[in-house]
Amino acid sequence: MVQPSRPQSTPRLALAPGPAGAPKGRQARFVAIAGNIGAGKSTLTSFLASQFAIRPFYEPNDSNPYLTDFYADMMRYAFHSQMYFLSAKFRAHLQLARLLDEDPATVYVQDRTIYEDAEIFARTLYTRGVMSARDYETYSSMYRAIRETLPKPDLLIYLRCSLKGIRRRIKVRGRPEEQAVDPRYLRALQDAYETWFAEYDLGPMLVIETEKLDYLEHWIDRQDLVTALDGLLCRARAGI
């Protein structure tokens, strides 16, 4: 088992155990994908769905009605936007929890989690002075209550990408609301992801360096990824 070196010298694929190591005595049925804006979460979710017997569970398609206003005036709309995301993520996690209960033979992979919304995006807005202390405490108290009710991921896949790579991907995919994002905000998110990952304690983690591992274009990279994930999922299913 390779222990990742954070944050600079990690190999392209690295497994880091959670507080209790790999899942024991049960199937790894809830795989979560985390990463900054443009890191490749939706792409990896689709890839896993096509390569493994895993059902994708994407973020809700409903657009945040505050998002455009938020990017135009973060100070005014930070709380509104984050509360909308929190409620949407909570509904999504509840739906996933029901699916896990109703269909115990199926493995699900989730594109971004509620933990990122709260522990990265909302916290970053607060630490940068965009969200007030009063609003952040209201938000956090709601999140803490929600967090206790949710099933924990059996495996977290963290997609790490440089800030330069993130900005390049944002430009290429061309979403209008993302084009004017302050580079300092992206840097703050990047730092928050590294901190969150270093402190993550809900279970095992796999780190993928997305700029070094081009699994879509290069066959060897793709095989490396499939082999690593196949071993992890099979090992977890066996309760090893």
Beta strands in the chain (DSSP E): 13-16, 30-35, 54-57, 107-111, 155-160, 205-209
Reading phi first (left if > 0) and then psi (alpha if -120 to 50, else beta), residue 38 is in left
- Whole-angstrom distance, CA of residue 92 vs CA of residue 226: 27
- Please provide the size of the chain in residues: 240
Q: Which of 62, 103, 111, 191 is catalytic?
A: 111
Give the pairing type, strands 54-57 and 13-16. unpaired
Give the pairing type, strands 30-35 and 155-160. parallel
State the alpha helices, DSSP H only, in 62-162. Answer: 67-72, 74-102, 114-116, 123-127, 133-147
Structure letter (DSSP) for residue 201: -
Buried b (16+ CB within 10 A) or exposed e, 56-82: bbebeeeebebbeebbeebeebbbbbb
Catalytic (active site) residue 62: no
Token pair of 158, please? 């963290």
Active site residues: 111
